[in-house]
Amino acid sequence: MPSYSMITKTQIKYLRSLHLKKYRDRENVYFAEGVKLVNEALSSHIPDIKMLLYTSENKQHIRTELLSHNIPSIELKQEDFQKISVLKNPQGVLLLIKRPVNPIPEISEFNDLILILDSIRDPGNLGTIIRLADWFDIRYIICSSESVDCYNPKVVQATMGAIFRVNIFYTPLTEFLSILHESGKSTIYGSTMNGENIYKKQLKTPAAIILGNEAHGISLGIHQYIDENILIPNFNNSVSRSESLNVSMSAAIICSEFRRNKV
């Protein structure tokens, strides 16, 4: 039986500190907040849920889950929960989860499609891309070390639970790409402004797709590892038109193009 106890000021301070990457890194935990994410975490059977926090108002609703999963739990007052929450409208339920600490798999372990993210900075974009990866059965995402942390609460929210199912790694990309390139196991595609029309290309798998930073695209040092540059053409031929698509929109369309022939 899990025990119920009231939260201390020190615990609130500790949980609040996890909004920041520095403390998440030190403690090696993150949190997932809200009914949707908590349910997704439970149904995804992630191994390391350390703690469930819920408000007294949510007690009735949460207890069944709790008992069946046997997770240690803390009951909070609404006002204390709000101090920890990152949501505008807190739903009174939150999980504290141990981050997975697996090394990057051997190249041979990747399935037919992986994503490589070069300095994606916006939490919403990364969260959306993780959600897309889950949808398109992409099991691995490799992020450059400068990319936004996937355990940032805003990223976790935007994944809508996909964070529990997609394997995400952070590593210096030049190193990773030079190994991948030398292995010859995957065609390395880069989404670039001077790429070839994606709709006219025969896309090959196994493939690795590189997506670049929101403002600067793919770093110069990485271009040398790209086998094929691809581009989603602008169908608007007016003089005044958008310069680019948002990176998560591009990701959606590119993943769709790689998968559409698989059905």
Binding site for a second copy (CB under 8 A): 40, 43-45, 124, 128, 131-132, 134-137, 160-162, 164-165, 197, 199-200, 232-238, 240-242, 245-246, 248-249, 252-253, 256-257, 259-263
Q: Which of 186, 180, 192, 248 is nearest to 223 (CA)?
A: 192
Q: Find the shortest distance in angstroms from Cβ 135 to a second copy.
A: 5
Q: Which of 208, 192, 246 is nearest to 116 (CA)?
A: 208
Separation between Cα atoms, residue 94 and residue 163, nearest integer Å: 15
Nearer to a second copy, 101 or 235 (CB): 235
Q: Find the shortest distance in angstroms from Cβ 249 to a second copy.
A: 5
Q: Find the shortest distance in angstroms from Cβ 122 to a second copy.
A: 11
Q: Find the shortest distance in angstroms from Cβ 3 to a second copy.
A: 29
Going 54 to 58 to 59 to 60, the CA torsion angle's sign is negative
Q: Supply the DSSP symbol for 161.
A: T
Q: Which amino acid is at 183?
A: S
Nearer to a second copy, 66 or 158 (CB): 158
Q: Find the shortest distance in angstroms from Cβ 179 to a second copy.
A: 27
Separation between Cα atoms, residue 207 and residue 112, nearest integer Å: 6
Nearer to a second copy, 74 or 157 (CB): 157
Nearer to a second copy, 152 or 248 (CB): 248
Nearer to a second copy, 146 or 257 (CB): 257
Q: Find the shortest distance in angstroms from Cβ 103 to a second copy.
A: 23
DSSP state string for 183-246: HT-SEEEEEEEEEEEGGGS---SSEEEEE-BTTTBS-GGGGGG-SEEEE------SSS--S---
Nearer to a second copy, 27 or 257 (CB): 257
Separation between Cα atoms, residue 203 and residue 169, nearest integer Å: 25
SS3 string of 66-102? HHHHCCCEEEECHHHHHHHCCCCCCCCEEEEEECCCC
